[in-house]
Structure 1
Amino acid sequence: MRLYYRDTAIWIALAVIIGLIVGVLDAVFGRVLLIITSFRTAHFFYLIPFLTIGGLITVFLYQRYGKVAGRGMGLIFNIGHHTDDVIPKRLIPLAMVATWLTHLFGGSAGREGVAIQIGATVANRIGDIAKVKNRHIMIMLGMAAGFSGLFQTPFAATLFAVEVLVAGVIYYSAILPTLVASVVAAQTSRFLGLSRISFSIVNLPKIDPLTIIKLLILGVIFGIVGFGFSWLLVKTKIKLATLLPNPYTRIIVGSIILSILFMTLGQGRYSGLGTNLILDVFQGGHIFAWDFILKLVLTILTLSLGFQGGEVTPLFAIGATLGMVLGALFGLPLTFVAALGYAAVFSSATNTFFAPILIGCELFGFSLLPYLFITISVSYAFNFNHSIYSAQSILKAKKTDH
């Protein structure tokens, strides 16, 4: 028992260190990204023609300097599964710069992939210094800190980290230190000026049999859309790599097509993170019925060509805009269904259950909990064990302590 408390104290101490470092890095990465996004929005037509240049620089950097770091999230998962040992420190500047380039020139991508890679790299390095053998726990601390520092949702980040490595398995023993790393990272990045988007959903329908039936159907739709995103992302990457095996040729041809699409489809409406769409949903802006489809397709193309970033924020935008459309069809409050979609599509695409529920609660209010639980229970079941994280291990119907 004494040994258990000693080990727990050590994990917590390491979690504090990781949270502080990752919180600072997330704040730098996130604030620069916000500046870049504002600049791109103001000068979109001057920057979008140079998307090819940004892509070529990205490919060059990863071809010239990336090496094993070019495996990105796959490498992070392999470290967590103990099939790799080293995450090069150069992964951090490479991922940050490449993502900034993607967003500067108008690519449709997220940011969480970079934040998680930053956190995992820092945590793994500290694990080397401290000679920690349980490297999967260190990776969880880093992933949680990276996610929380960027999105400022420490509870969701904690559950995300302990359930995402192996779908169907919860690493209960890692929850406390992971929560500490998440809280410290979130508070650090917030102190350094990084804020989060949150909205209060107060117009909630009564929970009755008809509402429950509607939530179950919504869960099916959100689940299939999340599955579709993850499945198409994997297939498109493989198909493009087969058709255009040279990464430079692939990025040139694809970027020219993307530039034309971004200019003609909404004039930059579908570029970047998708936070513009999220704000339109929850602040009374105009949403088109096809917004979620175009954001989905353009994000998949952007990432499949080799641009860097992430998938989560675009998934939030896809889920929210789809929810807005479905809310009108189902006769439910629009922003209520949008909040459900925000979390449920993320759940399906990442093959996680508890983290999306907490994301919904932290961003939209804990009064949404029963509705989220019902909807996400279905969306999680309808992802058919697919995930945007191709290196995620699958172990269904079994949750054990490790």
Structure 2
Amino acid sequence: MAFWVGALVVGGVSIVFAQLADWAQATFLAAGHAFWAVPLLLTPAGFVFCTWAAREFFPGAQGSGIPQAIAARQMPRGMALKRLLSLKICFGKIALTVVGLLTGASVGREGPTVQIGAALMLQVSRIESLANEGGLILAGSAAGIAAAFNAPLAGVVFAIEEMSRSFEFRTNGLVLTTVIIAGLVSLGLTGNYTYFGITHATVVRPWDWGLTVACGTLGGLAGGGFSRLMLEGSRFARAWVAADDAKRRFAFPLACGIVVALLGLATHGATFGTGYAQARAAVEGHAPGWDFWLAKFAATLVTAISGLPGGIFAPSLAVGAGLGAWMAGASGASLGAVLGMAGYFAGVVQAPMTAFVIILEMTGNDANVIPLMLASMLGFAASKLVAREPLYHALSRDFIKPLAGSANPPSATE
């Protein structure tokens, strides 16, 4: 009963979080349309507040949330629940991600939902004194992805490929059951829908296969570039802030907020928030401006390096959609968008199975299975030329080191 209730709660909290995130983004964009200078005033202040609050009150809530869930599975029993997946961090993650969207940060809610799902499921181990903490973290993470995107298959594949990096027979039933229950909650509250709408664009002509190869290869190189810049930028930021912590802990997020505000103003607000609207428009055949993907790339990178709580899933898909639509041109924007998402996202996370399954489910593009698989594999291979280590697993080590050997919390950029 405790396990079932835990899975139900993951599904319900994921839906509430999604509605809060949508409200926050819509509110910020409406305020920006009413008065053009709102981003210059609100975005830098939001960055400073969120990174400060995460550091002082919710250590472990910084960044995506997926590295924390990965790190938690490698910690001794009880430590993950206390340090990275407590209820306090869970609700702090929700609150600060919503504030980030309310102030224009280029973040998504999907990565945070993974950490929240893992934290909520881990409470079951406290109630029932279950020994399989790792399995519960895996199940909660999968349920978080499934509920966030209404993509149950992607949730299962994500748990196998990205979270555990292997198929664990003893936890497969746990993962599947949790995903089913959380998915039923999502279906009951929001109905059956495809996250980015539906496209029927397919690869049929010879040059369409050329586009597939181009989107996979160039998308993977761009995704690998993002991954490497984020890792090296985060490490540089930690060292730079630590050199004069009293002053730079506020100066750094302030500068990041100013950059994100200026990028948003330059693109008429297109780079603020998740990028969902722009990605969906591209999937449905309405390509964003040629400069959108570059500006969104930069805004997401700066936001991630700042240490502000929030994920890169949706922003990365938006970058990939914009890149692919630009490469395909106006006549092939829809096909280019889905292929670009596959190549770029596989390049960022270096998880090709998750990339093509999640895009397949989010666009209802069943006729493009083989092209999506090819673009994802090409993206993965191209990314390895630029970034040697997978992004989330590399970031997870930043949480394992200080938490496993010290009582001190990680810094704001971790």
SS in 1 for 2:101: helix
Aligned identity (percent) is: 19
- 1:205 deviates by 2.8
In structure 2, the partner of 1:9 is none
Contact 1:36 1:100 in 2 (8 A): yes
How many residue pairs get matched? Answer: 376
- Relative to structure 1, the CA distance from residue 14 to residue 366 in structure 2 (aligned partners, 3 Å threshold; closer, same or farther) is farther
Q: Match for residue 58 of structure 2?
A: 66
Q: Is the 8 A contact 1:22 1:145 kept in 2?
A: yes
Q: CA deviation at 1:14?
A: 6.5
Q: Which residue does the alignment assign to 2:410?
A: none
- CA distance 1:59–1:157, shift in 2 (3 Å): same
Which residue does the alignment assign to 1:352? 351
| Superposition pairs of residues 140-289 of structure 1, within 5 angstroms | 140-167=138-165, 169-193=166-190, 196-206=194-204, 211-212=208-209, 214-245=211-242, 246=245, 247-263=249-265, 265-289=266-290
The alignment status of 1:369 with 2:369, answered yes or no, reads yes
Which of 274-283 and 314-323 deviates more?
274-283
Letter in 1 for 2:93: A
Partner in structure 2 of residue 50 of structure 1: 42
Is the deviation greater in 64-73 or in 89-98? 64-73
Task: Note the alpha carbon deviations across 1:27-52, whole angstroms, 9 max, x for none.
Answer: 11110111111111111136421223
Q: Does 239-248 or 88-97 show the bigger shift?
A: 239-248
Q: Which residue of 2 aligns with 1:298?
A: 299
The CA deviation at 1:91 is 0.9
Equivalent-residue separation in structure 1 for 2:109 and 2:55 (angstroms): 21
> Is 2:80 aligned against 1:85?
yes
Q: Distance in 1 between matches of 2:269 and 2:198?
A: 28
Structure 1 counterpart SS, 2:108: coil
Q: 1:29 aligns with which of 17, 27, 38?
A: 17
Of the structure 1 ranges 68-77 and 92-101, higher mean CA displacement relative to structure 2 is found in 68-77
Displacement of 1:322:
0.7
CA contact (8 A) 1:159 1:355 kept: yes
Following superposition, the deviation at residue 303 of structure 1 comes to: 1.8
Alignment partners' CA distance in 1, 2:357 and 2:287: 27
Q: Is the 8 A contact 1:20 1:188 kept in 2?
A: yes
Q: TM-score, normalised by structure 1?
A: 0.86
Cross-structure match for 1:133:
131
| 1:247-304 deviations in Å (ceiling 9; x for gaps) | 22212233233323322x1121100000121133134435222211110111110121
Q: List alignment gaps of at least 5 residues for structure 1.
A: 1-12, 394-402
Question: Aligned equivalents of 1:341 and 1:290: distance in 2?
Answer: 15
Match of residue 391 from structure 2: 388
Is residue 227–residue 387 contact of structure 1 (8 Å, CA) maintained in 2?
A: no
Question: d(CA) in 1 for partners of 2:62 and 2:157?
Answer: 27
Structure 2: any 5+ residue segments left out of the alignment? Answer: 398-414
Shift of 1:166: 4.5
Q: CA deviation at 1:103?
A: 0.7
Counterpart code for 2:283:
F
Amino acid at match of 1:353: P
* Corresponding position of 2:96: 98
CA RMSD of aligned residues (A): 2.5
1:366-386: CA deviations, max 9, x gaps? 211111112212212222143
What is the CA distance between 1:135 and its match in structure 2?
2.1
Task: Give me the whole-angstrom Cα distance separating, in 2, the residues matched to 1:133 and 1:296.
Answer: 42
Question: Contact 2:196–2:283 (CA<8 Å) still a contact in 1?
Answer: no
Q: Secondary structure at the match of 2:59?
A: helix
1:318 and 2:319 are equivalent in the alignment: yes
**Contact 2:120/2:140, CA 8 A, preserved across alignment:** yes
Secondary structure in 1 matching 2:20: helix
Q: Per the alignment, in what secondary structure is the counterpart of residue 80 of structure 2?
A: coil
- Are the structure 2 counterparts of residues 221 and 244 from structure 1 closer, same or farther at C-alpha, using a change threshold of 3 Å? same
Partners of 1:257 and 1:354 lie apart in 2 by 34
Measured in 1, the distance between the counterparts of 2:52 and 2:375 equals: 43
Q: Deviations over 1:178-228 (max 9, x none)?
A: 2222232133134233765243332323276x6545533432112111111
* Aligned ranges 1:322-341 → 2 under 5 Å: 322-328=323-329, 333-341=332-340
Distance 1:130 1:343, change over 3 A: farther
Q: 1:15 to 1:271 in 2, by over 3 A?
A: same
1:123-143 C-alpha deviation (Å, 9 max, x unpaired): 112123232323221111000
Higher mean C-alpha displacement, 377-386 vs 101-110: 377-386
Determine the C-alpha separation between the residues in 1 that align with 2:239 and 2:255.
Answer: 14
